[in-house]
């Protein structure tokens, strides 16, 4: 029981590990004994994160490029002999109403959030089903379940990720590979910086959840590390919401007693 959450000897790829939630997960994984490869479209930032951590290295990766994803993960196997864990955090959002969305904007969001996640699932799945072990964690969102105006394409992709994860869990499970998702609520990251810059918007989101505050990026590390670790050895095909109770609270009005 003392080692359930340890990742000693686990070769781990953290995609999107150069900032925000991905960086927090990379720090947590190293602290729990993993050998970490930080992969990110921002190569310089990835190198900076890896440079601060023991047992860590970095490389550039654009998850929109299917061959690049496969080559990056194959390269980790060539260097370390195996690939035990893959975490994929990147996403983008263009907040516009459906009637104002251009096809180019639609394609940009889908290319990163949905096609990118598919590319990672496919590449990691090929490696892990062959070695007959592994854990894959893909990031979804509360927007897979609830929406608001101007979240159409983002919400669509995050719902799609849940179904990709479930299907991958069904297909990879017989080979001993687990696949899960994390569904954050509102987290202070570069992606949500425009919201934080608007005090009314920021406060409205804080007041929507049960804890009445935003999450820090490092608060997403614990749920992710759980799914990565042997503590979750019988957990697959699920989404773990780390949302401060957002999905549990129905409305903003507290009725009188």
- pLDDT digit string (tens) for the chain, length 257 residues: 889 999 999 999 999 999 999 999 999 999 999 999 999 999 999 999 999 999 999 999 999 999 999 999 999 999 999 999 999 999 999 999 999 999 999 999 999 999 999 999 999 999 999 999 999 999 999 999 999 999 999 999 999 999 999 999 999 999 999 999 999 999 998 878 888 899 999 999 999 999 999 999 999 999 999 999 999 999 999 999 999 999 999 876 677 87
What's the confidence (pLDDT) of residue 156? Answer: 98
Token couple for 4: 């359930």
What's the confidence (pLDDT) of residue 78? Answer: 98
What's the confidence (pLDDT) of residue 257? Answer: 78
**From CA 26, how far away is CA 221, in angstroms rounded?**
8
What's the confidence (pLDDT) of residue 68? Answer: 98
**From CA 28, how far away is CA 10, in angstroms rounded?**
13
- Whether 242 contacts 215, CB under 8 Å: yes
Give CA angle at 46 (66, 78), nearest 5°: 55
Predicted TM-score (pTM) of the model is 0.95
CA 163, 165, 166, 171 torsion-angle sign? positive
Catalytic residue among 154, 202, 205, 241: 154
Q: Is 154 a catalytic residue?
A: yes
CATH superfamily of 11-241: NAD(P)-binding Rossmann-like Domain (3.40.50.720)
- Reference 36, options 115, 20, 52; nearest CA is 52
What's the confidence (pLDDT) of residue 252? Answer: 67
Query: 6-31 burial, b for 16+ CB within 10 Å, e for fewer?
Result: ebeebbbbbbbbbbbbbbbbbbbbbe
Token couple for 148: 């608001």
Query: Which secondary structure element, helix H or strand E, spans residue 15, and what is its range?
Result: strand 11-15
Q: What's the first-to-final CA gap in the chain, in angstroms?
A: 44
Query: Which secondary structure element, helix H or strand E, spans residue 40, and what is its range?
Result: strand 35-40
């Amino acid at each position: 029981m003392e080692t359930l959450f340890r990742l000693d000897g686990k070769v781990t790829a953290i995609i999107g590990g150069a900032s925000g939630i991905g960086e927090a997960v990379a720090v947590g994984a190293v602290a729990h004994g993993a050998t970490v490869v930080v992969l990110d479209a921002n190569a310089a930032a990835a190198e900076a994160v890896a440079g601060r951590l023991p047992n860590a290295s970095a490389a550039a990766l654009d998850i929109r490029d299917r061959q690049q994803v496969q080559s990056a993960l194959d390269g980790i196997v060539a260097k370390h002999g195996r690939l035990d864990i893959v975490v994929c955090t990147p996403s983008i959002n263009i907040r516009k109403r459906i009637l104002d969305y251009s096809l180019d904007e639609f394609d940009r969001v889908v290319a990163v959030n949905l096609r990118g996640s598919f590319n990672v699932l496919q590449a990691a799945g090929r490696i892990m089903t062959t070695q007959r072990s592994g854990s894959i964690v893909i990031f979804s969102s509360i927007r897979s379940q609830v929406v608001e105006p101007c979240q159409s394409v983002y919400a669509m992709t995050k719902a799609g990720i849940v179904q990709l994860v479930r299907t991958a869990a069904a297909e990879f499970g017989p080979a001993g590979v687990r696949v899960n998702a994390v569904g954050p609520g509102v987290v202070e990251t570069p992606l949500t910086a425009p919201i934080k810059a608007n005090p009314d918007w920021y406060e409205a989101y804080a007041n929507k959840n049960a804890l009445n505050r935003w999450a820090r990026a490092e608060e997403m590390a614990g749920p992710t590390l759980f799914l990565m670790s042997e503590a979750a050895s019988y957990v697959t095909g699920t989404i773990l919401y780390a949302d401060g109770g957002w999905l549990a609270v129905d409305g903003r009005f507290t009725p009188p007693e």
